[in-house]
Structure 1
Amino acid sequence: MKKTLLYLFYFFIIFSCNQKSDEEKSDQNSDLKNITLEKLDSIQIEYLGNPIVHDIDPKSKTVLFMEFEEFSNDIMLADFDGNVFNSFSKFGDMPDGYGSLLAPIQILGKDEILAFGLKGFSNYDFQGNLHNQVGLDEIYFPNFRRIAMGHTMNKLGNKYLYLEGGTRDIDYDKINLHSDIFLFNLLDPSTGSKEPIIQFPKTSIYKSGKYFFRNAWSPVFSVVENQVFIAFGGEPVIYNYSGESPFELISSLPIDIPNYRYFEGSNNENLEYDFIGLFLSSARIENIKKVGDYFLVAYFQGYDDVDREYFFANKTPDESKELRERLKEKYPYRLAIFDSLGKRLNDFSPEDYDPTSMLLRDGQLWVMEKPDPEVEKEYFRLYRVGLKGE
């Protein structure tokens, strides 16, 4: 009985906090709505499942997506009218396969795609025929990789910039390696070699000597006009690096994100909570894109103190399930828009698309429609969006 009363009291607090939070958001955004995003076009693809979009190519008018399953990774190609015109699998140990993917697949042209996997760089045509394969100098399964829309390799000259995935031989949650590790690789598709580049800048919180769980500092980045713009995990700063060797830091831009609660490190190597709990509860930047003179920042706010305390408290399975559902609704992914000086121009939670999926290709910005948890649709939709002044 005592536990039930405590549980009810907690959700009364949640309701009150929600009201206060909505009021605060309204106050914060009352004079910010100068720039927003508007829908310019859409693609509806008939497909039943859980697709992950890898690439959208405006020139060939092609969408590449996959359905990840335990034993099958079919590559599917659709046109901008929404017709899936071919699908094939190159997963696993087949002679012309790519092994396991290390990055999203890219569309290179009208009839060519590039897969980066454990077997190296594999070029296929749209029919699935292997045209070229270049093995990697080093082969190991990474500790971290991200296969999601808007998180692909970026071209730098004749090479590709992508995340350094680390190795499973190191426990990144326990060892304070942050002063030494390289965060990106410059990949050469003609030789299979990689050049480790870019470490944490001296001013970063991740150079403070404190301990962080692995996903606290996972970078997101955007390459524009031979410059690299990076946000390191939870840290609310956009770092600008040169896109040419030695990839020097050009500038750093602190950004003000409202009600942003990120993990600022621990002095104790043994973190208080497990990394999954810390990841779920801590603020982080999920995607950044530079469009013209503006930065688009998709982010998760992180739980407030009341929610965080109850999140880590002992609960029954039913209580945990109900709490997760309530917190997911209370803390949706948000999108903030900043000018080149770091002034916040807008901050909102999109109702019908996922801001973490932002994909910038040939000057076009695309996002994926949010799925409806109540309705299973036999299609998915992509929106082309653009900046609009108000």
Structure 2
Amino acid sequence: MEKQQYQLQPNDLNKNSPVLEKYNYFILLSIVFGGFLIFGLSENIKGPAIPEIQADFHLNEGQLGFLLALNSLGYLLACSFTSFLSDKVGIKWTGVIAFASMAIAGLCMYMSSTYAFLSMSYFLLYIGNGMLEIGLGIMAVRIFTKNTGMMMNLAHFFYGLSSTVAPIFASSMMQWNITSGELGWRGMYVIMLALSLLPILPSLLAKFPAETSQEEGRVSYRSLFRDPIAWLIVAILSCGIVSELAIGSWLVHFLVKAYNWNLKDASGMLSMFFLFFMLARLFLGPLTDKIGYTLSILILSAFSGICSLLAVVVGEGGAILFAIAGIGIAPIYPTVMALLAKRYPNGTGTAITFTVTFMSIASVIGNLFIGYIIDNVNSIFSTQGGEKGLIGLQVGYGFIGILALLCSLCCLVLYIIFRKRHAVL
């Protein structure tokens, strides 16, 4: 008996051994969690940089909106081919390409001397971000087969963690003194995006899970196009994410322009938003599994929309409500991903790609729309002798809150449909 036990020990080194599977699982966790950390940094260092970019390139709000919309267009393009690329080269190499392209984008942004070149650099960055998000989403769904809502929110907690510190780090780094002067937004982008090279090594070492669903009954893009539930989920995610990303993009700009806050204080409020955002994903994740994904999104998105609108109405004294809105908006994306995993178990990757692709289209339109809302409202009040600037910013930011309420309304429709079918998720 002792001899048999001794002979089994070398098998621990086999490819399918429990020991190696356990280590591989922890490596995969490090890639998913680390990937979301990098994703949060790359997404949210732009808040403090935007006022400096606007000053350097002499941009108006409409051009800023176009810049952000072009970023989303790169993200959209990545969503359209990432699923195909993943099928051809695998999730591993898709992730490696995504991380590398983000680092290269940082170098391009450092060298940008014109608005066009800067826009193309952002475009490349968001291609990498789009590839990364689709890859991480598919990987997380395959790994987190139990307590999906909690684990999805935990994974996205790391996005919130890095998003919380990103504005503070970015604004601080931009003021670092080096031999030729301040580091500025260019040097900050190079350093921050160079961190995206770190997850490449564990990605090369890990064995990535394959999709285990059977071909029979597998969801297809054609079936999703014909499924009204799929389109409702697209609407829910689009409204929620456009609201979330718009806060990250416009909050610092709003506080600086509307209330004359300095960059440090405005960035601190954005970090406060992401602090609430991060904690909500950490503590509300288990709640989504208990009360249901649809009901969770309905309640939380309504809370976020109400907070954002109240912040605009109350004025500078209610600025903290901008940050508190992060509690409601934070769980929407990961909870929708969990909803997709349960709704479409055969072909979850296809469902994620379909949903995120159309969400990206909405993001392109949303960022562009917010910028031009601000410009057009300012133009109207300027011709009528009104207070130019503040009114346009208030209407533009109010639109962000309205999007969160629309997310809740769409979720209410989905909840009613699920209840009628006795299949509430």
Same fold (TM over 0.5): no
Choose between structure 1 and 2: higher strand proportion. Answer: 1
TM-score between both structures, scaled by the size of structure 2: 0.26
Larger RCO (CA within 8 A; separation ≥ 6): 2
TM-score normalised by the chain length of structure 1: 0.27
More helix by share: 2
